[in-house]
Amino acid sequence: MNILFCLLFSMLTLASTSHAASNSDQAQGKLLEAGLENGEPLWLDADASKFFAIFNADQTGQPKGGIILLHDAGSHPDKPEVIQPLRKKMPEHGWPTLAIHLPALANSADYIDKQTQINKRIDAAITYMRNKGLNNLALLGHGTGAMAATAYLADQKNDSIRAFVAVSLGVIEREDKAETITSKLEKISLPILDIYGSQDLDHIASTAKKRALAAKISSDASTRQNRINAFKRSAMATSDTQNRLGYILYRQIKINGASHDFSGADQILVKRISGWLEHNAKGVAISSSR
C-alpha cells in the first residue's frame, strides 16, 4: 500500500458525513478494492446496500472452520496492522478468513449508534461463509470491532458462530449498565479468547480484570447448564489448565511489549490465536439447516 493510496483513503474517511455515509462507505470500498494485493475482493449485500469485504481461502486443503474479521475504528479490512496479517496468515493454519468493511466509526463508542447496521453486515458475512460450506465460524474483532462483536454475540443468536476472539477489547462505562461491554460479556455462551498488549490503550489494559470477571459469570453458568456439550469434548476442557481455572469458556492473554496495533508482534498474535482455535473451536460441526 503506497503513501498516495493511504492519503487518499484517509481523505475519504475524514470526508464522511452522516447524510452521505452510504456513498462514502462504498467509495472507500472501491478504493480498497483498487489497491488490494492479496485476497479476493467481494461486495456483499446488507439492508439493501452493498459493502466491501475480502476473502482469503484455506491454504491447507483441510479447513477447520472460518473467521470473520471486524476492524477497529478509523481502520478498514486491509489495515496493515492486525487485520491484514490475520486475514492472510490464518488460512495457512486451516482458517479461511472474511474481513468485512464496517460503517465509518470515528471512535471507540461510535459502534453503539451503528450496531444495527453492523449486525446486518455480520449476518451477511455469516451467510457468505456458510454458502461456501464453512459452518464452523469464529468472530474476531479488533478494538472497536471487538466491542461491536461483543454486542452482536450478546444480543444475536447464530449457531454458526462457535468462538469469539477479542483483540484489544476495551470497556467503556455507560449510564445504562446493561449496555456495557462487561454486561454483554456476561451473556455470551461461547469460548472467548481475550488478547491484548501490555502497551495497549488504557481503557483496554486497565480493564482486563473487569473483562475476565464478567466473562467468568457466563462461563460458569454455561458449564453448569450444559449448554456447551460440543466444547466439553475439546482438549482444553480436559486439560490441567481447565482443572485449575474451574471454567472452560474464557482465556485472557497479555502479549508483553505489544501496542494496540501489535506492530512487530504479528507472528505471535497469529500463533496465539491459531493455537487457541485449534483447542477450542476446531471442526465443531454445525448443521447448515439450522
Whole-number Cα distances in Å, 139 to 61, 69, 273: 22, 6, 12
Closest by CA position to 12, among listed 144, 104, 93: 104
* Structural domains present in the chain: 39-280 (3.40.50.1820)
User: pLDDT tens for residues 168-224?
Assistant: 999 987 777 778 999 999 999 889 999 999 999 999 999 999 999 998 887 666 555
Please report the pLDDT score of residue 246 as a whole number: 41
Q: Which of 48-57, 116-125, 217-226, 247-256 has the lowest mean pLDDT?
A: 217-226
Q: Are 146 and 168 in contact (CB under 8 A)?
A: yes
Q: Which residue has the cell 473487569?
A: 210
Instruction: List, as one string, the DSSP characters of 153-187.
Output: HHH---TTEEEEEEES------SSGGGSHHHHHTT
